[in-house]
Structure 1
Amino acid sequence: MTRANETSVRAHALRTPPSAPGPIRIFTEARLYDDGAGGVVALDRASSSGAWTSYVAHLEAVQLAARVGPANPRAHLPIGEIPIYRLPFFQGPRQLISRLPQVIKAVASSTSEARLCIFVLPGPLGSIGAAWCRVRRRRYAVEVIGDPVQVLRSGVIGPVGSHLAPVCGRLMTWLVGGAGAAHYVTEETLQRLYPPARHAHQHAFSNVDLSDTDFTPGPRRTPFPVRELIAVGTQDQLYKGHDDLIRAVALLSATHPDLRLTLVGDGRHSAELRALAVASGIADRVTFRGRVDSREELRRLLGRADLFCMPSRTEGLPRALIEAMARGVPCIGTTVGGIPELLPADLCVPPNDPVALASAMADFAEGTRDVTEVSRILWERAQRFRPDQQARRREQWLASVRRLAGLPVPR
């Protein structure tokens, strides 16, 4: 046994359950907002349909710990029936630093009252809470949804990210290694980077919650010209690579003037991206669709698209890509996070490389790629994300959570 494994096993053995039963508290990194009537609402679809919905359906006494901000006129999406433990609100690194003492105090207090805490990693609340539990030798579970090293090195918080990346990577390893149970959204990528303790319960399944209506009856069978491109993702940060996608379309503007791009999503970088489209001379070829909350509308947009593009700089296992695959849309992406687990290697390009991205897009636009064959391959790969396939794995994870919390497991 290696020294690292020995340390993890020893720490795992020393942890003790809470002295008194309390709620199972799930910590989310989603930003929620007061609805003015004593409840909370979400700003976007991803935040309103979090993974906590399965906990509510299968576990007793579940609470959601979240940062809750003042009423926001843009936030109106309900989050479902779940009690909320309100944590201090912050948005972005600067606000977090300015409110760090209050956040640490609130998170520490919330963990002491819980039977079991489940933290999402990476993320500030998850990192603070998991560190507190590990130091206090309290049992906890983690959901591992991404790689902080990749996030920081992607440049989303500027040059300082490269200096913080190694430290955050070591912290993430320590936090995951101290958990009694770990759920990974990838099959092997994140497990290899951040392995669990030797005796921890380990599970792998996507936290993407699709319904049967999100799947088309089959892949696209009729050859079609590739003219309409689409990308879906937040523009709060630039890690979705929408700027690289605009640059790639601009590179092809002379040879492929009929290419059109639709960007779905919004955020604080939206104006910057619009300005980039203007400066690149392709403002008339880029449609900024804004945020789309309706699943039906998103399915309609995907149905009109010829090629889905995900030029991300960092990812876990991207929901938007899986949704496109389920609709039979040909896709290309970058070699980050769990994307290579979804797409064949020849459909992936390096991140931060508009030239390589443009080349991959040109292969489709010029008919070099067999679009019906790509549609078939990706649609078939998406079948493992059907509700019945995911439900079985999720039930196994929930059983591990119950055991860790000292609750009986239904037979």
Structure 2
Amino acid sequence: MPSALPDGDPAPHDGSLPESALAGLGERPLGVYVHVPFCAVRCGYCDFNTYTAAELGSAPGASQASYANAAVAEVRLARRVLGEPPPASTVFVGGGTPTLLATDQLAAVLDAVRSELGLVDDAEVTTEANPDSVSPESLAALRAAGFTRVSFGMQSAVPSVLATLDRTHDPARVPRAVGWAREAGFEQVSLDLIYGTPGETPDDWRRSLEAALACGPDHVSAYALIVEDGTAMARRVRRGELPPPDDDDLADKYLLADGLLGAGGLAWYELSNWARDDAARCRHNELYWTGADWWGVGPGAHSHVGGTRWWNLRHPAAYAERLAAGRSPAAAREVLDAETRRVERVLLELRLSSGLDVAVLGDAGSAQVPALAEEGLVSLRGDRLVLTRPGRLLADAVVRRLLP
């Protein structure tokens, strides 16, 4: 169960990680996630821990200008807690819009990771970016600082769909941004898409997929729109201003994406992700899906080391205040028991094209496999259980049957 970390109680960052968590450190890859919680505009569908300048006001420690100092302080804290960790194999800077920060600030955080934790020689270092938040100069500076991969939030190529999502960039900016990233020498370029936006037609979605492929990306992520409670879009749906996403429409659009992306040379390797080849897969996300270790830096960021999971205070000012006082920014933690870890492994690894070791299912879950295979939802490849194409559409239902 999660345990709160009130003032005066030891937090996991203060050296109280269980011995079981630290015992296997180095046996699994280590990643670093850096959450940058700033956005120029709040998108109506987004429920991430992000803030505009107007929402933050003048709260001490909450400005974009001071963020890097707080993030560097947490990286140093990570080194003290982990002792002699393995060098990080991946760094992923997400948000929010990381590229709202000055490039020297992003470089400073990456330099801290490099000096405090270390990076493997072929480390994957990713930043997310909006197409309208970069320039040829900023991308060149990020590449020079050591970033190897950039993921652009394209979402759609159709202006009316972008407007419904409250996205502000011009679709024509996307191919230019991809071109700038190539000129800067980025090893991998990824595009993020969203399907199922209210009012989006099948032709709209096809147009977005074709526009994405025309950019020649190494990787594409395509996510079904989820109307999250508490968002502006949820309020509009509740008032009847927008229709809710339709499951049949989402399924049709997923199949269209899988067909077009596959024909365009990108193979699926996770339910919502397609890559040009193995080298183009997002290695950082693969850490999450396979239960490896990662340290999450930033307000609201989550971390996981050896079966212990914790998460930081959400507000940037409270986060910065804790670190300025030499204290952990953690809000709560939980130690995962063996059954919870098994369930999470089923939930996550079954999403992968490499599938799940059937031994993880146990007797009750394994008994469901023959029926699922006969229904055409799963297949066995040696000792690995893999979702078929129809099974990918019903992944949640398959998991429920495998975890009776």
Pair in the same fold by TM > 0.5: no
- Give TM-score, length-normalised by structure 2: 0.31
Q: Which has the higher contact order (CA 8 A, sep 6+)?
A: 2
